[in-house]
Amino acid sequence: MTKKNTDKKVEEKKNTKTTQQNKKQQTKTKAAKKPSDSAEDKKKTEKTETKVEKKVEKTDKEIIVELNDKYLRLAAEFDNYRKRTLKERMDLMKSAGEDILINIIPVMDDFERGLEVIDKAKEISAVKEGVQLIYNKFKDFLKQRGVKEIEAKEKDFDTDLHEAITKIPAPDEKLKGKVVDVVEKGYYLNEKVIRFSKVVIGE
């Protein structure tokens, strides 16, 4: 083996050692750098977290302010609605029977004319006819308003329609447990009983 060859080999070994040492140093420096990098990363993440927390806190406050504003508006609207409905109800109560009264006034006029005629009348039949006309007019007016008479005489006694005043012996077997006489007529208003018939029942 020549001297040149041995020198070459020695140099190659030295080169490989230096390259290995360089690699080790690079890895050490990388490892040394990594913790500092991770510390910086931690600081960055902490900062972003605090920013997010602050943002969340702000949005919570904003939500509370919005909800409070909505509540105040709703309360004010409800108060206005309550006052308005109360006023409307009062107005309605004042003028509720206006339409009915307007239509009753002509009947009142007829009664007044009839009373004037009664004083001057010589024939009772004319007076009877006048009273009958007024009665029919008033009956038609009630019918137009949905007021209807409850038929009670000789009907089965019904507690939903009739109010028994007294009981008497039935003049006929067929009238037992039925209405024998009507003391005071009852009335419906659109199929609803507004006054019960006061009746006498046969037993």
In this structure, the answer to whether residues 202 and 155 fall within a common structural domain is: yes
156 and 195 housed in the same domain: yes
Range of the domain at 119: 97-145
Q: Do residue 79 and residue 107 come from a single domain?
A: no
User: What is the pLDDT at residue 73?
Assistant: 93
Residues written for the chain: 203
Question: Is 180 a residue whose pLDDT tops 50?
Answer: yes
CA atoms within 13 A on the CB side of 28: 6
Residues 118 and 137 in one domain: yes
- Whether 85 and 123 have beta carbons less than 8 Å apart is answered as no
Residue type, 31: A
Return the pLDDT at 34. Answer: 46
Lowest mean pLDDT among 27-41, 60-74, 83-97, 117-131: 27-41
Asked if residue 76 and residue 89 are part of one domain, the reply reads yes
Residue 78 has pLDDT above 90, yes or no: yes
pLDDT for position 90: 84
> Rounded CA gap, 185 and 154, in Å?
13
Residues 154 and 186 in one domain: yes
- What's the mean pLDDT in 1-18? 56
All residues at 6 or more sequence positions from 172 whose CB lies less than 8 Å from its CB, including other chains: 202
Whether 18 is in a domain gets the answer no
Q: Report whether pLDDT(71) > 90.
A: yes
Of 1-5, 97-101, 186-190, the one with minimum mean pLDDT is: 1-5
More confident residue, 152 or 97: 152
d(CA 192, CA 39): 86
Q: Is the Cα torsion angle 167, 169, 175, 180 positive or negative in sign? A: negative
Q: Kind of pairing, strands 197-202 and 179-184?
A: antiparallel
Could you give the CA distance from residue 16 to residue 23 in angstroms, rounded to a whole number? Answer: 11
Ramachandran bin of 190, using left for φ above 0, alpha for ψ from -120 to 50, beta for the remaining angles: left
Q: Are residues 118 and 87 in the same domain?
A: no
The domain spanning residue 171 has which CATH number?
2.30.22.10
Higher pLDDT, 33 or 74: 74
pTM of the model: 0.49
Q: Is the residue at 1 inside a domain?
A: no
| Residue 159 included in any domain | yes
Note whether 185 and 149 are within 8 A (CB): yes
Give residue-wise pLDDT tens across range 100-109. Answer: 888 888 888 8
Residue 199 has pLDDT above 50, yes or no: yes
How does the average pLDDT of the chain come out, rounded? 78
- Number of domains within the chain: 3
Joined tokens for residue 2: 């020549």
Q: Clarify whether residues 134 and 159 are in a common domain.
A: no
